[in-house]
Each structure stands twice: as structure tokens, then as C-alpha cells.
Amino acid sequence: MYPLKQSSSNYNSSLLLRPDLKEINIPPWKKSWKPSSTKSTRCILQTPESVPLMNNNKSAPVVQETEKFREKSKMKRRDCAANSTALTPIGFLERAAVVYGNCTSVIYKEKAYTWSETHARCVRLASSMVSLGIKKGDVVSVVAPNIPAMCELHFAVPMAGAILNNVNLRLDAKAISNLLQHSESKLVFVDYQSSSAVLEAVSLFPANLRPPILVLITEDNEDDYQINGSADHYQMIYEKLVEKGDTGFKWIRPDSEWEPITLNYTSGTTSSPKGVLHSHRSAFMIAMHSLLHWSVPEQPVYLWTLPMFHANGWSYAWGMAAVGAVNVCLRRVDGPSICEALRKHKITHMCGAPVVLNMITNYLGGKPLDRPVQIMTAGAPPPAAVLGVAEKLGFIVSHGYGLTETGGLVVTCAWKREWNNLPAPERAQLKARQGVASIGFTEANVVEPETGASVERDGTTVGEIVLKGGAVMLGYLKDPEGTSRCMKDDGWFYTGDVGVMHPDGYIEVKDRSKDIIICGGENLSSVEVEAVLYSHPAVNEAAVVARPDTFWGETPCAFVSLKQNVNDKPTEKEMREFCKARIPLYMVPRMVVFLEELPKTSTGKIQKFLLRDMAKALNTKTHVDESDKLH
């Protein structure tokens, strides 16, 4: 009903309206919606240690009370070495080496390791990093796909006391260079296929900046080392670093669980990537509750389709060690490779953005799986239609919600037994909701951003999704302003996502605030229109964005890719008719543009900002029909 939008400028939605529409009765908080988590790329050094106290405005009285209790109960000490060892997920590996020592830890092509081998390799790697001069708090970057080295470096880098920075594989040389400079990375592990991009990235460093040490990850043999005659640029190859490490090395435990363990840059779906710092504590917590909420049993066979560089594979890069999983690594993620791996390795669990789920089900083309596979989907709204098809084929789908800033999934669509008896479309609708805060997290809510008041639990009143809990980041690297814009003094982390609270306490994401379309004063959820488009049998992928319109301010414009082998390709008119039969007329896309493929980020998110640019550039007049008469 009301303008509700966030953008990097102080967006005033009324500017988009016709003068006569300004009379619409808009509550003040909605009129002046200001971005809570606008992206900033300013570099101001901020010590992570200072961040945890930032929102703790109520801590003083609590501390006094605790002190009083201590005196009364004659407890001399509050904490001691026995009860305050820093929480860290690195301990999962030590335990795995004991419990699952002889069991397979990682499989890649013809190679396989056991958990005791993986543990020993990580210890040696960590000691070699220290020998190379890596010190506590240094940033060590990795540019690699889901290969065994990625699994190992999630442990080995923090074991050397350093901060792990996974670099998005699809970035170009300039972006990689910016990121390595911004993070002040001291050492970079480079997969041989990314060698030329990284070497170019380093060549772009200013002359006064010391380039990082480079280590090359080769695949099968040392020939890869000689790629493009680039050997001189590398200090060493990965396997040699493992070999020469000290097996007796005592890994460097964090002195405090608040010490950073990772620096993850966001996907860059809506703006430039931001450097998100997470502590050992938050990594430990997110890994634990991510296993719990997915009911992951001991020794699952886990297929790595979700990039580990994306929020540490939603924390499962560590979590899989806690349950002694077999990590099946895949360099390429496409329908045939995934389906072949599912069969060959008898996969029990995997994660993937809805786009991956869609890709697999399309590839299977209606042929059910040999055995059920648990899949956790998140990262973008999963259309109910996609969930329905996946379940029919034998996937047991779980749905979670989170951000790089929360280290993984902190809201999950906790499934109730009584829902099992509902008809399939109803089940899919329920599962498409993002859900409730997970057990290890504290709270999730939907609020009016101006007042911080909870919105009505009616499933229709929109507000901003806010989160609170131990897995929330320490802050953005060198960006205290950006940090305090989203981690507010009221003690909440503001996500920038727009959602509703259902009467049963489950949250549903309606859009990113930037993606909300305001058509003649009406807020229109692109996600709802996309859900309808996805239910068309010929549609492979769909995205709906705002197209500027002099009359309405904005109108919905749909971009659609069709399934392969569709004989009867629908026309634009037919697609619009299909929508008209299912959603209110004002939501019907005025244009439907067919593309071979929709542009996506490396983590499988549709890049709506590119589509918005395309929509803006479209010349054709929008359809003027009964959907316009509505206004």
C-alpha cells in the first residue's frame, strides 16, 4: 500500500509519484524510510575488539547485578581457564581426528583423505604458514573452488592464528586486487585456474604497497606450476607447503573467542562487496545451530555445491567436521555433475540456492532420485513451485534465511509434523516462508524501521527484518559508519530485507527493500510476482524489477528464461494473461522480456540491478490495458 524502499541515496519515494498521488495517506515512517544498511566502502580502521561492546548499552547494570550475586554467593571468581576456553570451531577437527580418524573426510576425483590425514595436513599447513611469516591477526586469502584445499584452509588458516578470507571466484582481476588491498592480505592461496586473474590483480597493486606472498594450488601434478611461465611469482606450491610442515606444531588458539576468524565479502548483489568480520565465537555458534536445525546426523555424505567462499558454505565448512561427514568436492557445479555425484557417492545432504535446486530438477526432467537427498536451500526466496517439484523428485527440502553478516542461516522454516498431512501446494507455500529464529540465535522480528515497533502479526503488514544473536558479525572491516548503520543502538541488526510476520510467528521475506516496486503509490513485492511466473510450466527462471514510468513512478517488468525443450513457447501476451488469472491486476508485469539466461552472481543470486538497467533502457511502451485502469 505504501512506499517502502531503500536505496543508497536518501530516497524519497514521493518523488516517483504523480503530483495527485501525493495525497495518499502514507504513515510518516513509511514516507521517510531511510536505508539502515546502506553500503559504504569507506575505509576507516576499526579494531574488532571494540565492536562487541558497541550495542551493549544495557550491560552496566547487568554486570553490577552479577557482581552482587558473586559477593553474596561467595564465589571468588566468575571465570577461569576451566570454564572460559574460547569457543572456536577449530576444535571440531581435533575431535574428528579422534572419533572418525579412519573414516573418509574428503573425496575429490580419485583422491580421498581420512579425518586423521586431514587433521595432520592442517597442522602441517598451519606451521608452514607461520614459517612464511604469518602472524596472529594477519589476513590470509584463498581463491579456489570447492576442492580439498578449501576444506583444509578453513581450519589451517585459523590454526596459524590468521583470519581466513575466501575470495569470490568469479571476480575479475581489478575486483580481486581491490579486495586484497582492502583486506591487507599477507598470503594468497591460488587455485591454478585462477592464476592469471590473481597475477593480474597483484600487478595492479600500487608501487608502495607490498604484494602478498602467493602459493599455488595445483591439481594433479607439478605441470600446473608452470602455467603461463608463472612459476616465478609463486613462493611455493600447496602440496610442498603441507609436506614441509611440522607435524608436532601446537596450533594457535584464540586468546579470546571474540578474535576474528574470517573476513567474508558479501555477494555484491546490491552494491559493492563489504568485508564482514566474524569471530571464532560466532563461527562456533552458527556451525552448531546449523547442524541442529537441519538435524544433520553423524557421518553424512555431503556434496559441496554451495561455494565455500560464500559465507564459509553457510558454516558447514566447519560443521561437517563436527559430525565426521564425507565432504564430496566438486569443481564444476552443473546439472550433470551434481546428478552424477548424487548417484556415485550416495549423497545424503547438500546445500544450494533456489537457483541450484531449480537447475537440478530441470536436469532431472521429472525422473525421481534413486534415494532421498536432504537439501538446505537459502540465499534467495525459493518459489513454492520449485519446492513442490523438488519434493516430488525425492528431495527433502529445508529452508533457511541468513546473510553474510550472520555467518549463515539464523532463521529457519521449522517444520511442524502436523503440516505433513496438508496437500502438497499448501506444504510448499508454508515451506517458502523463511521461519523463526534458530535455537542458537536470540531473536528475529519484523519492525517499523522508524519506531522499531513490531509490525502486526497479520502476514500482510510489511516492515524491516531485524535480527539479534551471537552469530551476528563483529562489523564491516574499516567501515564503522556502515557498521553502525545496520547494527543499531537499539540492539538489533537491520537486514535491509522487507518482510511480514505471520500470525503463527513465522517471518516471510517479501523483498529486499531495494527491490520493492512502487507503482502509483502501491508497494508491490517482486517476490510474489516471481512466484506466479515460476508456476508457469515453461518458465525456467523469473525476476521482476521496477521500470521507471513517468505516469506511475514505477511499473513491474518481468525477465524470464524458458526451460529447454519447450515446444510451445509462451508469448509475452500469454505470460501476462497467466499472471492476470492469478494476481491482482496492478501486480501484473507490464512487460515480459524473454532472455536465454538471467544474469547471476557467483552464489546464484539474480542480479536485479543489471535487470533494472536493462528495463530502464527498454524503449517499448508499457502495456496500457485494464491493469492500468485499476489506479
Ligand X SMILES: Nc1ncnc2c1ncn2[C@@H]1O[C@H](COP(=O)(O)OP(=O)(O)OP(=O)(O)O)[C@@H](O)[C@H]1O
**Which of 178, 88, 180, 170 lies closest to 141, judged by CA?**
180
Give me the torsion for CA of 410, 415, 416, 421, rounded to 10°.
Answer: 160
Q: How far apart are CA 322 and CA 285, in angstroms?
A: 12
Given the complex with ligand X, which of 145 and 402 has the nearer CB atom?
402
C-alpha cell at 525: 513485492
Contact 156, 132 (CB under 8 A): no
CB of 213 to ligand X, least distance (A): 28
AA letter at 291: L
Cβ proximity to ligand X, 17 vs 403, nearer residue: 403
Q: How far is the CB of 67 from ligand X (least distance, A)?
A: 39
Cα–Cα distance measured from residue 98 to residue 88, given in angstroms and rounded to the nearest whole number: 17
Euclidean distance between CA atoms 471 and 281, whole angstroms: 8
Say which residues have a Cβ less than 8 Å from residue 510's Cβ, sequence separation at least 6.
462, 498, 499, 500, 516, 525, 527, 528
2 vs 401 by CB, closer to ligand X: 401
What is the smallest separation between the CB atom of 274 and ligand X, expressed in angstroms?
6
Taking the complex as a whole, the smallest distance from the CB of residue 120 to ligand X amounts, in Å, to: 33
Q: Closer to ligand X by CB, 521 or 604: give it.
A: 604
Amino acid letter for position 590 = R
d(CA 225, CA 384): 47
Our CA angle for 190, 195, 200, nearest 5°, is 115
Q: Cell for 540?
A: 525456467
Count the Cβ atoms, other than its own, within 10 Å of residue 20.
7
User: Shortest distance, CB of residue 370 to ligand X, whole angstroms?
Assistant: 28
Q: How far is the CB of 440 from ligand X (least distance, A)?
A: 17
The DSSP call for residue 541 is E
Beta-carbon contacts of 46 under 8 Å, excluding residues fewer than 6 positions away, are 475, 477, 478, 479, 480, 483
Q: Which is nearer to ligand X, 245 or 379 (CB)?
A: 379
> What CA–CA distance (Å, rounded) separates 527 from 559?
13
Task: Enter the DSSP assignment of 575.
Answer: H
Q: How far apart are CA 466 and CA 476, in angstroms?
A: 17
Residues that bind ligand X (CB under 6 A): 266-271, 273, 378-381, 399, 401-404, 434, 495, 497, 509, 512, 603, 605
Is 307:146 a contact under the CB 8 Å cutoff? yes
C-beta of 317 vs 321, nearer to ligand X = 317
CA distance 555 to 548: 7
- Helix (H) or strand (E) holding 111, with range, is strand 111-114
In angstroms, what is the minimal distance from the CB of 161 to ligand X?
Answer: 26
Q: Residue 286 Cβ, how far from ligand X at the closest point, in Å?
A: 13
Neighbouring residues of 16: CB distance < 8 A, sequence distance ≥ 6: 3, 518, 548, 553, 554
The minimum distance between CB 207 and ligand X, in angstroms, equals: 30
Q: How far is the CB of 495 from ligand X (least distance, A)?
A: 5
Q: Which residue, 158 or 407, is less far from ligand X as judged by CB?
A: 407
Judged by beta carbon, residue 406 or residue 622, the one nearer ligand X is: 406
How far CA 36 is from CA of 442, 465, 469, 475, 522, in Å, comes to: 20, 11, 18, 14, 22
* Cβ proximity to ligand X, 212 vs 402, nearer residue: 402
- d(CA 197, CA 175) in angstroms, rounded, equals 10
Shortest Å, Cβ 271 to ligand X: 5
Q: Which is nearer to ligand X, 407 or 570 (CB)?
A: 407
Cβ contacts of residue 194 below 8 Å, gap of 6+?
A: 143, 144, 169
Q: Which one, 124 or 433, has the nearer CB to ligand X? A: 433
Complex with ligand X: residue 128 or 377, whichever CB lies closer: 377
**Residue with smaller CB distance to ligand X, 12 or 271:** 271
CB of 72 to ligand X, least distance (A): 45
| Distance in Å, CB of 249 to ligand X, minimum | 34
Q: Hey, is 434 helix, strand or coil?
A: coil
